[in-house]
Amino acid sequence: MIKKLAECIGEYKKETILTPVFVGFECAFDIIIPFLMAFLIDNGINKGDVRTVVIIGIALVICSFIAIYTGVKSGDYSAKATSGFAKNLRRKIYYNVQEFSFANIDKFSTSSIVTRHTTDINNVQMAFQMIIRMAVRAPLMIIFSLVMTFVINVKLALIFLIAVPLLGLGLYLIATKAHPIFEKAITIYDKLNNTVQENVRGVRVVKSFVTEDKEIEKFEKTSELIYKEFSRAERIVALNNPLMQFTVATIIVLISWFGGKEIVANNLTTGEFTSLITYTMQILMSLMMLSMVLVTIMISRASGERIVELIDEKSTLTNKENAIKEVKDGSITFENVNFSYVNDENKLCLKDINVEIKSGETIGIIGGTGSSKTTLVQLIPRLYDVTSGKLKVGGIDVRDYDIKSLRDQVAMVLQKNELFSGTIKENLRWGNEKATDEEIEKACKLAQADEFIKTFPEGYDTYIEQGGTNVSGGQKQRLCIARALLKRPKILILDDSTSAVDTKTDSLIRKAFKEEIPNTTKIIIAQRISSVEDADKIIVLDNGKIKAIGTHEQLLASNDIYQEVYYSQVKGGEDNE
Amino acid sequence: MNNKMKGKIDFKVLARVLKYLTKNYKLRIFFVIISLLLSTASSVAANLYLQTLIDDYIIPLVGVENPVYNSLMQAILTMIIIYGVGVLAGFLSSRLMVKVTEGTLKQIRDEMFIKMQRLPIKYFDTHSHGDIMSRYTNDTDTLSQMISQSIPQMFSVVISIIVIFVSMIATNIYLTIVVILFLGIILVVSRYMTSRSGKYFLKQQESVGKLNGYIEEMINGQKVVKVFCYEERAKERFDKLNEELSKNVYNANKYVNCIGPVNGNLGNTLYAILAMVGGILAIKGIGNVSVGLIIAFLQLSKTFIRPINEVSRQLNSIVMAIAGAKRIFEFMDEEPEKDEGYVTLVNVKEENGKLIETTEKTNKWAWKHPHSDGTLEYVELEGHIEFNDVDFGYEEGKIVLHNISLYAKPGQKIAFVGATGAGKTTITNLINRFYDIEDGKIRYDGININKIRKDDLRLSLGMVLQETNLFTGTIKENIKYGKEDATDEEVIEAAKLANAHDFIMRLPNGYDTKLTGDGASLSQGQRQLLAIARCALCNPPVMILDEATSSIDTRTEKIVQDGMDKLMEGRTVFVIAHRLSTVRNSKAIIVLDHGKIIERGNHEDLIAQKGQYYKLYTGAFELE
């Protein structure tokens, strides 16, 4: 894990190495300065020697300024290294996610991918900064300070040798004890946030079932749990400061007693005595820092693992060598295709699919909820690979194509339409980056979107809010169709993409398809019979199997499922029109 | 420092945060303050005492033959007591603060949630969900930091600054002037750095928001990205935002990282200058400066600088926490949903042709209507709904529904048909008073709905919406959502009615299958079936189905509808649907256009009228 994360330091190696170097200088000055201060008191002030006072004083000032310089430098380098590291890490996982296939995306939930980009990276970034600064500084300070105490007085230094490991152990115990409780508390915290989110989203349900009080009760229960767990953890952490203060106090008292005797015995000067106290503080502060670093690393370890999981995830779809870049035509052949989302022959979603579609044909697909209509068409642009059997586009197995070339020729309008924040024009250019205004308008006319776009005051420059919330469902669908048309695909797939469009417009769209793009193979999944009845062929799917293929008339005459669907829509089950 | 704080910290908000702390934990806070005072005083005292120890107890012993350590022992004991008090007080204050912090946070969270439940629908329709959420997450987190760390620290820091400052003046006024002058420099420098980093922190927040928003949007639409081979372009924009964020993070942290070493070493410089000035003063014999005094003063100046550094380091987080607290309070101060209704829904039984209120579950309900003259009237709940010349606008002055008049008698199914934005959903939002009408009257069983208590009104109305929202929990719990005490048989019956039983039984754990993430594992259609079952279980006298079957295929829909029709026999149903096949067997179909009723009648009437409905209908079934 560490190695993979460390790779992301990349071009910030220089800063990453220079940070600890300058931190080292900084530490050196932090050690020298108290030493100079002691000297100033002993040999200058105590002896009334103005010259020494001034010389050492000036030396101190110079040292301080060099220390400021090194401090600013190390701060600058560490900020650069940290922000750069986080940037690279973020880019690395984002780029990898871009390579994901549908199967990969299904595996991780959207929100978990987003959290890995945000919270997890934040945690790792914090740990990184701590490691290159504190994790260098703290041990250095401890060692330097210990050495100095030995230089000053070996006997007194022994006090540290006993106290420091004890305190370190105490801090470590506190950290390791509190950490699991924190982790547990954080999962409860997630639960709480989930409750809030559900309530915000489902506010209409809550209000119409008048379950406000029940929800409040539920929330308060979780909130109570959080209160308890966090309190438990915080109570342990609250021991940190007193423990540290206690150790400081003990050491200072011991130094005062033994040090006092040493001064009397002329083995120690008062200046050295005060520096010992200063070093005491420095050692303890460093220990405190170390325990903080420890906790941060512990917290970020889980985050690091989650990030690496994304980095390691390999796309389930890969290009073959010498992949074919050109799709000849829009013909599609399914040969004994079986498909399972989990790659398990026993859990097939599609069974034994055999269909032949000629280039330029219009194909309708009808079937009940859960009959695998979407699954079937998702195989065509190779969003998933078949489990067994063969799927050919333009006479060639889809797995032999370069994925990008294949998808450029297969335009698919998904059931879950997504528009992105940006102008209408920008959204449409997803289909073709270089599309001219005329081309855009033409595609919109085909999709029957031009008319309503022109009613907007800003026309094609109307800004679409995130998720396309400021256009109606039907308008969104038509924009998505126009976007797909701009690709000038050989195959166009509409997955229930006109459900919110009124039937009149729906038929206009189909008419435009017929007249304007006769050579494009069109596959239309629909709930409405009217959307598919003039197709060249209609496939009736049921439970992952093809029940029948035929024209509207043929199916109406022979297929019971089709008849049922038809009558449920046209006849309303009672009278004849 | 003070000017800066005044400029940025909203003291009203700070006061309100403090009020929260003191409200429930008066005694605790009192003890916290006492122990903070004690621990601060002890640490200052201990620092100062060290010098006394050297000057008065150690130095006199130097050069003495057979020194007697009794007095030193006593001094050390004094030290132990000072430290002991400090450690104990420090422990007490942080221990006591745990409950104050966590308790206050719990209270704030709970209050926010309770408040949220009382907010009108309008609030949710006009605020983004992410915005509401962030008050529970980011804002509360920063506030927690502030309560548990910044406030106590600032408190003790301010105390120690005051104590030390006073001791400084008492020790020597000249040297204090040097300190004050130097303090000016330190403040100017740290102010420069905090304002710089503060600026970039704001920028950083902004670019974090932008980048996260972009990532979220792209990841949500990842399948579209794939289908359009948009990956490369998606990376371009990401790179730009990522670069921008990285730059702001760098700048913000650069200054923050510098504050510590810069201030610390300026402190050291101060030390050197004090030593030099003091030394010269002592030797020249100006202002009664002795060697001991210089050393004492130097010690003071060291302890003085540390809290000052602390303040400048805390300032940013305090400013941010207060901004968060402000957002939390704004949320809490939102106007709640008003309810002046006094007509309530009660169980009744019939005796001698009269309705009598009862606590039994009679399955017979009545509106309990107290009149102004003191009489009580019981009106049986039937589900008779009437609109009289209703006007409505979401924003004042912008009317979206004009002159709506309609009625629905018990047992009737009324359908609304029309284009998106014609006002279908709006009408149903008025019946359950998610929004209040501007003009006209809506009557429910003859009672003006403004007089009915909202909770009771809504209990009597069942709603199934196009957007199905499920809750974390089992399928069973979700179906029982509106009726906690339903038996398993009732649940299954409702599920069967909604045609959901079959698919539920196919799930790994049947009715006990856990749903998470808004039921993401179910298809849209299955979720709608669950929502229908959930509503059917409550068995309401009036039901509103707003595109409730839009994702269900027409065959299944037919089965569900037959079941619902049976269930709702003798009751009132409002249906909104795109699919005309869904609404055609309604008693009355109301065609809306731009907030006006343009046609009404049953299917046959409307077809015969050859108006808008006819056009819609024939558009659907152009059978050549």
CA distance B185 to B263: 10
Q: How far is B426 from chain A (nearest CA, A)?
A: 13
Q: Which residue of B has its CA nearest to A107?
A: B521
Q: Please tell me the predicted confidence (pLDDT) of residue B517.
A: 64
User: Which tokens belong to A162?
Assistant: 């006993």
Least-confidence region, from A450-464, B73-87, B419-433: B419-433
Pairing of strands B413-418, B588-593: parallel
Q: What is the pLDDT of residues B88-129, one digit of tens each?
A: 998 998 888 888 989 999 999 999 999 999 999 888 888 877
Within the 240-259 window of chain A, which residues sit less than 8 Å (CB to CB) from chain B? 241-242, 245-246, 249, 252-253, 256-257
pLDDT value at position B621? 39
> How far is residue B346's CA from residue B380's CA, in Å, rounded to a whole number?
10
Asked if the Cβ–Cβ distance from A83 to B253 is below 8 Å, we say yes
Percent of chain B with pLDDT over 70: 96
Question: pLDDT at position B8, please?
Answer: 58
Candidates A238, A368, A404; nearest CB to B95: A238
B4-22 pLDDT, tens per residue?
333 456 788 889 988 888 8
Q: Where in chain B is the domain with CATH 1.20.1560.10?
A: 2-332
Distance between CA B51 and CA B68 in Å, rounded?
Answer: 20
Provide the edge-to-edge strand list for the sheet that holds A388-393.
A350-357, A332-339, A388-393, A396-397
Which residues of chain B make contact with A117, given a CB cutoff of 8 A?
212, 215, 219
Task: Please state which of the ranges B301-310, B463-472, B606-615 shows the lowest mean pLDDT.
Answer: B301-310
The span from the CA of B139 to the CA of B147, in Å, is 12
B395: which DSSP letter?
B
Interface test with B, best of A369, A416, A419, A456 (most B CBs within 10 A): A369
Mutate to test the interface with A, among B52, B73, B268 (most CBs of A within 10 A): B268
Residue in A closest to B302 by C-alpha: A278
Task: Work out the pLDDT band at A86, boundaries 50, 70, 90.
Answer: very high
A187 touches chain B (CB under 8 A): no
Contacts of B105 in chain A (CB under 8 A): 227
> To the nearest whole percent, how much of chain B has pLDDT over 90?
19
Put simply, the chain A residues between 204 and 243 with a CB less than 8 A from any chain B CB are: 204-216, 219-220, 223-224, 226-227, 230-231, 234-235, 238-239, 241-242
User: 10 Å Cβ neighbour count for B285?
Assistant: 9
pLDDT band at B618 (very low <50, low <70, confident <90, very high): low
More confident residue, A307 or B259: A307
Reply yes or no on whether the pLDDT at B287 is more than 50.
yes
Cα separation, B549 vs A411, in Å, equals: 28
* CB spacing of B133 vs A242 below 8 angstroms: no
Q: pLDDT: is A575 or B424 the higher one?
A: B424
Radius of gyration of chain A measured on its C-alpha atoms: 36
The enclosing H or E element of B369 equals strand B365-370
The residue with greater pLDDT, A572 or A317, is A317
pLDDT, position B467: 77
ipTM of predicted complex: 0.81
* Arithmetic mean of pLDDT, B591-609: 87
Closest in A84, A101, A263 to B58, CB measured: A263
Rounded to 10 degrees, the C-alpha dihedral A522/A528/A531/A533 comes to 100
Q: Where are the domains of chain A?
A: 1-150+300-316, 154-267, 332-570
* Secondary structure class of B571 (helix, strand, coil): coil
Average pLDDT over residues B182-194: 83
pLDDT score for B518: 65
The stretch B299-304 carries a mean pLDDT of 79
Structure tokens at A82: 């940290």
List Cβ neighbours of B294 (8 Å cut-off, separation of 6 or more). Answer: A45, B175, B274, B275, B278, B279, B282
B84 contacts A528? CB cut-off 8 A: no
**Strand-strand pairing, A332-339 and A388-393:** antiparallel
**Is residue A17 within 8 angstroms of chain B, CB to CB?**
no
Contact at 8 Å (CB) between A103 and A384?
A: yes
The C-alpha angle B593, B594, B599, rounded to 5 degrees, equals: 25
Judge whether A316 is closer than 8 Å to chain B, CB to CB.
Answer: no
CA B409 to chain CA centroid, Å, is 42
pLDDT of residue A574: 39
The yes-or-no verdict on residue B209 having pLDDT over 60 is: yes
Q: How far off is chain A from B323, nearest CA to CA, in Å?
A: 21
Residues of B in contact with A86 (CB under 8 A): 246, 249
Report the 3 state secondary structure along B54-110: HHHHHHHHCCCCCCCCHHHHHHHHHHHHHHHHHHHHHHHHHHHHHHHHHHHHHHHHH
CA–CA dist B203, B492 (Å, integer): 55
Q: Calculate how close chain B gets to A45, using CA atoms only, in Å.
A: 6
Return the CA Rg of chain B. 36
| CA A10 to mean position of chain CA atoms | 21
**What pLDDT, in 10s, does the model give residues A351-405?**
899 999 999 999 999 887 767 888 899 899 888 899 999 999 999 999 999 988 8
CB B306 within 8 A of CB B156: no
**A561 contacts B58? CB cut-off 8 A:** no
Check pLDDT > 80 for residue B138: no
pLDDT of residue B390: 93
CA closest to B130 among chain A residues: A197
Q: Which residues of B touch A91 (CB under 8 A)?
A: 238-239, 242
The pLDDT value recorded for residue B71 is 84
Mutate to test the interface with B, among A258, A568, A574, A575 (most CBs of B within 10 A): A568
CATH code of domain B385-620? 3.40.50.300
* pLDDT value of residue B5: 38
Taking the C-alpha atoms of residue A283 and residue A248, their distance in angstroms, rounded to an integer, is 10
A319 touches chain B (CB under 8 A): no
Cα–Cα distance list, A495 to A391, A427, A477, A480 (Å): 19, 19, 11, 11
Query: B619 pLDDT band (50/70/90 cuts)?
Result: low
Closest CA to B80 of A279, A248, A322, A293: A248
Which of B38, B73, B102, B523 to probe by mutation at the A interface, max A CB count within 10 Å?
B102
Contact A238 B91 (CB under 8 A): yes
Q: How far apart are CA A371 and CA A425, in angstroms?
A: 36
Which DSSP helix (H) or strand (E) runs through B239?
Answer: helix B231-284
CB contact under 8 A, A83 and B250: yes
Min Cα distance B172 → chain A (Å) is 16
Residue A175, token pair as written in the block: 């950290």
Closest partner residue to B265 (CB to CB) among A45, A68, A204 is A68
Q: Which residue has the higher pLDDT, A493 or A50?
A: A493
With CB atoms and an 8 Å threshold, state whether A58 touches B258. Answer: no
B531-589: per-residue pLDDT in tens? Answer: 999 998 988 889 999 888 877 777 788 888 888 888 787 789 999 887 777 788 888 99
Statement: residue A55 has pLDDT above 80 = yes
Identify whether the C-beta of residue A25 lies closer than 8 Å to the C-beta of residue A69.
no
Q: Do B272 and A367 touch (CB under 8 A)?
A: no
User: Per the CATH hierarchy, to which homologous superfamily does domain B2-332 belong?
Assistant: ABC transporter type 1, transmembrane domain (1.20.1560.10)
Extract the tokens encoding A410: 């297969």
Q: What is the pLDDT of residues B232-242, one digit of tens each?
A: 888 998 999 99
The answer to whether the CB of A529 falls within 8 A of the CB of B621 is no
> A273 pLDDT exceeds 60?
yes
Are the CB atoms for B555 and B479 separated by under 8 Å?
A: no
Architecture in CATH for domain A332-570: 3-Layer(aba) Sandwich (3.40)
Task: With CB atoms and an 8 Å threshold, state whether B578 touches A26.
Answer: no
Residue A303, Ramachandran bin (φ over 0: left; ψ between -120 and 50: alpha; else beta): alpha
pLDDT at res. B2: 37
Q: Give the list of residues 6+ apart from residue B295 with CB closer than 8 angstroms, or none.
A: A41, A45, A270, A274, B51, B54, B55
By Cβ distance, the residue of A207, A245, A574 closest to B434 is A207
List the single residue in B83, B254, B518 with the smallest CB-CB distance to A76.
B254
- What is the predicted pLDDT for the residue at B333? 93
Chain A residues near residue B240 by CB distance under 8 angstroms? none
Q: Using a pLDDT cut of 70, give the percent of chain A over it.
A: 98
Identity at B252, one-letter amino acid code: A
One-letter amino acid for residue A551 of the chain: T
Return the number of CB contacts < 8 Å for A and B: 437
Q: Do B272 and A57 touch (CB under 8 A)?
A: yes
Q: Which CATH number fits domain A1-150+300-316: 3.30.1300.10, 1.20.1560.10, 3.40.50.10860, 3.40.50.300?
A: 1.20.1560.10
Question: Chain B residue with minimal CA distance to A248?
Answer: B83
